[in-house]
Structures are given as C-alpha cells and as structure tokens.
C-alpha cells in the first residue's frame, strides 16, 4: 500500500491529476537557488525558453550567460566559471549536453573537480514528435562511469525543484535530467528528498519496482492495478541514480526477492544496470528491465512512444508478472 | 624594446636554458613525453614565471594571482620545470614525471598539483576554461588576468573557436591567449595537416587584438607581454613564433621531436649542447 510517509497527493490515481513538465520545476528551482546564493549563474546555449530559463534571465540578467549554439563551450567554459568561484547551471537538451559535450564534461568538469551543474532537458522518448535525433536515451549511461558525478532523474515537477535546490547546495559536479512533456505531479512539498536517498512510495512483498523519472508515476499506477491480480508490489523512487542508494535497493531485494527497474532510457547502462551491478555482488536477485530495448526513438506522441517502446503501465505490469513468475519458479 | 636591463634579459635567457635542461632530463628519466614544444616554449615560460605573471609560488591559491591555463597539456614538462624553478615544488620532484603516484602527471591535473590551475590534455579546451575564468573575474571586477598557453595545432579543434567567439563577444581584455606558433604537430607541418594561415587575420576577425613576437627572443617576449597591458576592450592574442626543439640543434624544426623516446646518447648530446650554451650565457652575463 501507499506509504503515508511518502506524503503523495490524494487521490493518487485521479485521472484529472495536475500535470506539468519536470523542466518547469527546474525553472522555479534555479530562481530560488539564485536568490539564496549570488554565485549561482545560468549558462544558456540558445534555448532560453525551452530549458525554462526565461524567469531567471528576467530576474538576474547579469548572471545569465548566453553562449549560443556552443555545447562544447557550454561545458568547458563553465568549468572556467567554476574555477572563478561561480556555480554555473549549464542548460541545454540532454542530447547536446552532456551528449555532444561528453569529453568536456568528463575532463574539464569531472576530472577537474569543478562545481558545475549540468541541466539536461528533453530527456527520454517523450520529447515526442521531434524524433530520435532529439531524444536523449543514452545520457545516464554516458554519465554513470564518470567518477564523482551525481546523477538525478526527478519524478515530477515538485521533485525537480527540490533536486535543483539540492544540487545548488551540493559541492561538486551534478547532472540532472529533465523532461519536456507534462507528467502527473504526484509528490508534495512534504515528500522527502535527499540526494542519494531513495524513497519507498509503496510497500509490497511480491515484486519491487525501482524506478526513476516521470515513469515512477506509471509504476505506481501499475502497482495499484496489480492488487486486483493478488500481487503486492513495492515501488521505490530511486531519483538518484548515482550514488545509488544501495541500502534501499538491498532492502527491496530482500523484501520482495524480485525486482523490476523502470526508466525512460536505454536498458543498457541505466538505472537497471546500476541496480543489477550492485545486486549481482550483494544479493543476486531476479530482475526485469523496463526501458528502451537497444533501438533509437522515433517521432510520435509521447504516450504512443511509451507504448511503442514498452514503458507504459501495461508494459510495467507485464514485467512485474514475469519477474514474479521467474521468482516463484526458481 | 623592453624596459629591462641587458643584465636582466641575460638572466632570463639563462633561466630558459635551465628550463630546457629540466625538460630533457625529466623526459629522458620518464622514458616518454614531449620535447619539441616544451623546448620551443622555454623562453616564453621563463618570461611568464620570472617576469610577467603576478604570482606567489608559496601560496598557489592566492586569490589575486594571475591565472596561467596550460591548454596544450602535453607540453607540461616546460610548465613543471618553470614551476619547480620558481619554487612551487622541489626541483628534484621533476624526476617523478609520469611515474606512478606522482603529482606531475603525464598531462597536468589541477587537483594533484596546486598552481596548475586546470586539468588539461585533450586539445582545444583550454581557451574555453580561460574565457570562463576571465568572465568570472570581470563579473567580480577583479584585477587579475588570465593567460592561456595554446599550441598552434590545437587551433584545429572547434571548441577553441567557440571560445574565441565568446571572448570576443564579451570583450574579455583580461584574457591573453598565447599561441605557440611552431608550425608542427604530431603528423607533420600544420600547413600540410590543416592550414591555419592567415592566423593573425582570423583572430582579428574574431574581435581580438593580436601582438606578434619572436618567441625565442626573451627581450621580444617581454615587450609583447608588456604591450598587452595597454590593450583594452578586446581579448589579446600573443602570437609567439617559436622554433620547436629550440636549443637542441638535432631537434629544431623536426616534427618527429613533437614527442619520441630518446635513443641512447641523444639526451646526453642535448644536455651537452645546452651546457655549452649555458657557459656562453654565463660569460656574457659576467660582462654585463
């Protein structure tokens, strides 16, 4: 059942639940972070509105740095700004930064230990009609092997704002991926958020879903629906992919003995991979992976694409059944 | 040309000679590394560390220091040599170059070596960081300047031109980009690999000031850096025309000495030639 401590909205499955893109939460968060700390800057690569920096630009014109379509410079130049004592939030579509700028992120930001915040909007296939070129579904995979890099995928706009404020306070390189498309706002101001600390949203004993990003809501929908099938499904919001909350993952594996990971990202190298790498050492556990199955995205409406690539609630239910079956047949 | 006395200029030439010696010894001791670029840049580094830069070797994090970003990180043997001579760390430590556990990594790392300012190696990324740093300095109305040492070969990287546009747009006159125009890169001569000329015109077209000098003439280098102090409203490029391998005749202008291991006797021959130059410089200095 839904845990009261998670302080989610009620009723959770209301078809009219308010929806907002997670990038909106970033836009609110970065303004608040800038009000708190004069060193916070926004660096923008010709995408002011769509990366939700318009309010920041209006309120802090002197702290808004426009670099044009220069994603490599966005990352490398920000390392220099950070060396000068600033806390630059570098913003683009995830496909371009960290995508295009990966080596600068790795060498100039991470190895160089600079305090840069990488904001990747338009992550996932739910970018929709823009098609495969703009759908970043490899970003977690390219960021995970970078030592010290914090990686966060907020589940809704409220959590997105909290994540933005949290990384402003955190000393070190962080990457947060945001979505273009609206998704249900189901957490509240009271829902706990701490970098590196997963939140168990629903308790259960048969299968544990560990999810990140807006698909956490789809995981909750699937879990609620599966009560009818007699399956009691745990849902864990692992908003921080790195450092992975190993304690929470181990707890989920011990409580349910079967895991389903859910993410709007390639199955290769994402949250599922992080969970599997950890559990293979700590407690080998049956695991099913919901994510993009090693193909590129394509144009379409967000919901059509989530269905097409097997990441909607029905696909999650199917993965839960499979994990449960594998567990009971062992 | 410069305001320095003949004696001071000769002293800087002697320091450059010492730095060249350190380059040969440390790279020979490491068994790998780069010689051509570092030897060609020795005069520029002698001037930077012993004349131009406002810095304090005992306090590498001093807030008001000038920042020197080494973009072409592979030439770090010359920076390490200059830092050691200036007093950032003991000269003996140069023998740890490229060894396990050393602070003197094959390509420099900021966290490992205080005073190295940034981590570099992958080419074309230094000016971007220098421009970001200069922008932050301007925001805070700081007096310190940012110097960025670059190679000519790395001007082929797109990121460098992104940084040039940004610096020009923002009129970063607290930024000095030094170009080691030695005309060589790993695979051959720059104008064969990917022509850069007219390089001066390119900088000027990107809204930069350009000062040119013979980078192996200490007095000319001093004068060039002095000239940068009275240029405003635009970032400044100091185009230093250098001879790669300068000071060791069998290396001079031979692109193969961008980097190749010494064969037996080669390092000793180089050191003998540098010693002969040293004796001559000392004789000349004694007369001043």
Distance CA B201, CA B28 (A): 39
| Tokens matching residue B245 | 């391998």
Distance, C-alpha B206 to centroid of its chain:
23
For residue B1, the model assigns a pLDDT of: 55
| Tokens matching residue B176 | 């000095």
- pLDDT tens-digit profile of B81-103? 999 999 999 999 999 999 999 99
Peptide bond into B198 cis (omega under 30): yes
Contacts of A68 (CB under 8 A, 6+ apart): A45, A46, B165, B166
Q: How many CA atoms lie within 13 A of B157 on its CB side?
A: 25
Nearest to A84 among B110, B137, B162 (CB): B137
Residues from chain A contacting residue B158 (CB–CB below 8 Å): 72
Query: Model's pTM, two decimal places?
Result: 0.96
Closest residue in A to B63 (Cα–Cα): A84
User: Which residues of A touch chain B, with CB atoms under 8 Å apart?
Assistant: 62, 65, 67-68, 70, 72-73, 76-86, 88, 103-104, 107-108, 111-113
B80 to chain A, minimum CA–CA distance in Å?
18
Percent of residues, chain B, with pLDDT higher than 90: 99
pLDDT tens per residue, chain B (288 residues)?
567 999 999 999 999 999 999 999 999 999 999 999 999 999 999 999 999 999 999 999 999 999 999 999 999 999 999 999 999 999 999 999 999 999 999 999 999 999 999 999 999 999 999 999 999 999 999 999 999 999 999 999 999 999 999 999 999 999 999 999 999 999 999 999 999 999 999 999 999 999 999 999 999 999 999 999 999 999 999 999 999 999 999 999 999 999 999 999 999 999 999 999 999 999 999 999
The interface predicted TM-score (ipTM) is 0.94
Peptide bond into B65 cis (omega under 30): no
- pLDDT tens-digit profile of B116-164? 999 999 999 999 999 999 999 999 999 999 999 999 999 999 999 999 9
| Tokens matching residue B227 | 């000239």
Nearest to A70 among B109, B129, B162 (CB): B162
The Cα-based distances of A158 to A22, B232, B274 in angstroms read 8, 47, 67
Nearest to A73 among B110, B134, B159 (CB): B159
Instruction: Enumerate residue ranges in chain A where pLDDT < 70.
Output: none
Residues from chain A contacting residue B111 (CB–CB below 8 Å): 112-113
**Burial zone of A12 (CB within 10 Å; 0-12 exposed, 13-18 middle, 19+ buried):** middle
Q: Could you tell me if B156 lies within 8 Å of chain A, comparing CB atoms? A: no
Query: What domains are defined for chain A?
Result: 4-14+189-329 (3.40.50.920), 19-184 (3.40.50.970)
Residues in chain A: 330
Distance CA A157, CA A126 (A): 15
Query: Is the Cβ–Cβ distance between B133 and B56 less than 8 Å?
Result: no
- pLDDT tens-digit profile of B168-178? 999 999 999 99
Query: What domains are defined for chain B?
Result: 6-286 (3.40.50.970)
By three-state DSSP, how is residue B10 classified?
helix
For residue B3, the model assigns a pLDDT of: 79
Q: Could you tell me if B273 lies within 8 Å of chain A, comparing CB atoms? A: no
Tell the residue number behind the tokens 């608040």, with chain if given.
Answer: A32
Catalytic-labelled residue, pool A10, A32, A35, A71: A71
For residue B2, the model assigns a pLDDT of: 64
């Amino acid at each position: 059942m839904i845990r009261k401590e998670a302080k989610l909205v009620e009723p959770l499955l209301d078809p009219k639940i308010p929806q907002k893109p997670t990038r909106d939460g970033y836009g609110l968060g970065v303004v608040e972070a800038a009000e708190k700390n004069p060193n916070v800057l926004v660096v923008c690569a010709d995408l002011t509105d769509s990366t939700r920096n318009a309010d920041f630009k209006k309120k802090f014109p002197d702290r808004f740095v426009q670099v044009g379509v220069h994603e490599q410079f966005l990352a490398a130049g920000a390392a220099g700004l950070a060396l000068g004592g600033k806390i630059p939030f570098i913003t683009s579509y995830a496909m371009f930064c960290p995508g295009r700028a990966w080596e600068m992120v790795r060498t100039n930001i991470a190895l160089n230990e600079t305090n840069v915040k990488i904001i990747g909007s338009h992550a996932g296939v739910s970018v929709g009609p823009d098609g495969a070129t703009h759908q970043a579904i490899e970003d977690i995979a390219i960021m995970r092997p970078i030592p010290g890099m914090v990686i966060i995928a907020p589940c809704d706009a409220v959590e997105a704002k909290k994540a933005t404020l949290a990384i402003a306070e955190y000393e070190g390189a962080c990457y947060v991926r945001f979505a273009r498309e609206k998704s249900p706002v189901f957490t509240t101001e009271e829902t706990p958020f701490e970098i590196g600390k997963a939140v168990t949203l629903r308790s259960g004993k048969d299968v544990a879903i560990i999810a990140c990003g807006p698909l956490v809501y789809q995981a909750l929908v699937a879990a609620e629906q599966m009560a009818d099938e007699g399956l009691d499904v745990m849902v864990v919001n692992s908003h921080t992919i790195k450092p992975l909350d190993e304690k929470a993952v181990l707890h989920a594996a011990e409580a349910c003995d079967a895991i389903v990971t859910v993410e709007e990202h390639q199955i290769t190298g994402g949250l599922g991979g992080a969970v599997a790498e950890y559990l293979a050492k700590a407690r080998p556990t049956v695991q099913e992976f919901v994510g993009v199955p090693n193909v590129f995205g394509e144009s379409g409406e967000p919901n059509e694409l989530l269905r097409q690539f097997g990441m909607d609630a029905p696909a999650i239910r199917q993965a839960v059944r499979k994990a449960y079956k594998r567990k009971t047949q062992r | 040309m410069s305001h320095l006395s003949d004696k001071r200029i000769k002293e800087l030439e002697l320091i450059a000679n010492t730095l060249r010696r350190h380059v040969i010894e440390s790279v020979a001791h490491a068994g790998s590394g780069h010689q051509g670029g570092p030897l060609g840049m020795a005069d520029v580094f002698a001037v930077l560390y012993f004349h131009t830069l406002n810095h304090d070797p005992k306090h590498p994090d001093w807030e008001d220091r000038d920042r020197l970003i080494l973009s072409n990180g592979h030439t770090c043997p010359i920076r390490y040599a200059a830092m050691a001579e200036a007093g950032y760390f003991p000269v003996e430590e140069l023998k740890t170059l490229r060894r396990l556990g050393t602070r003197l990594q094959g390509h420099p790392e900021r966290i490992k070596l205080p005073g190295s300012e940034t981590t570099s190696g992958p080419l074309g990324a230094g000016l971007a960081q220098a421009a970001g740093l200069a922008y932050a300095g301007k925001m805070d109305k700081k007096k310190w300047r940012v110097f960025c040492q670059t190679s000519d070969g790395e001007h082929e990287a797109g990121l460098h031109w992104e940084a040039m546009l940004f610096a020009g747009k923002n009129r970063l006159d607290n930024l000095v980009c030094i170009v080691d125009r030695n005309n060589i890169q790993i695979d051959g001569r720059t104008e064969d690999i990917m022509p850069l000329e007219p390089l001066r015109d390119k900088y000027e077209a990107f809204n930069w000031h350009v000062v040119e000098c013979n980078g192996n003439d200490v007095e000319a280098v001093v004068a060039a850096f002095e000239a940068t102090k009275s240029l405003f409203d635009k970032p400044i490029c100091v185009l230093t025309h250098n001879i790669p391998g300068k000071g060791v005749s069998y290396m001079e202008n031979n692109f193969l000495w961008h980097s190749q291991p010494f064969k037996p006797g080669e390092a000793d021959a180089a050191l003998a030639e540098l010693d002969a130059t040293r004796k001559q410089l000392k004789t000349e200095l004694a007369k001043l």
